[in-house]
Amino acid sequence: MRENPINTNKVKIFLKISRIEKIFEYIFAMSINNKQKFRTMKASGTTGTGRHFRVSSNKSARTFTVVVDGTKYRTVKMNQEEFQSCLNNTANDWNYFLKSSSDYYVVK
């Protein structure tokens, strides 16, 4: 019986994505093992409730500056693992951080 070409294409795409993910995992592991400096992040987004967030990182100080609707907040210094983890935060993640944590202060 002949195989459906659509399914074959889906499998090929899945395998390509899996290989790319493994490459990124390898690069990430190597950067941690070699203690290389991490990337600087500048991002903006809007939460589901309509709050606008703008976030930038300071990799030498290991802090983030979060601007929410014109009010500026800065996180306290984080350890390297926590800082790296926060580089992938979304606007909703930062919204939750500001609601649930006291590890930040208002910048005037």
The structural domains of the chain, with segments of one domain joined by +, span 1-36, 42-107
The answer on pLDDT for 86 being more than 70 is yes
Cα separation of 20 and 91, whole Å? 26
Cα separation of 105 and 108, whole Å? 10
pLDDT recorded at residue 38 = 44
Contact 75, 89 (CB under 8 A): no
88: pLDDT confidence band, cut at 50, 70 and 90? Answer: confident
pLDDT recorded at residue 37 = 46
Cα separation of 63 and 72, whole Å? 13
Cα separation of 48 and 72, whole Å? 20
The answer on pLDDT for 6 being more than 70 is no
26: pLDDT confidence band, cut at 50, 70 and 90? Answer: low
Give this prediction's pTM.
0.59
52: pLDDT confidence band, cut at 50, 70 and 90? Answer: confident
Cα separation of 27 and 9, whole Å? 27
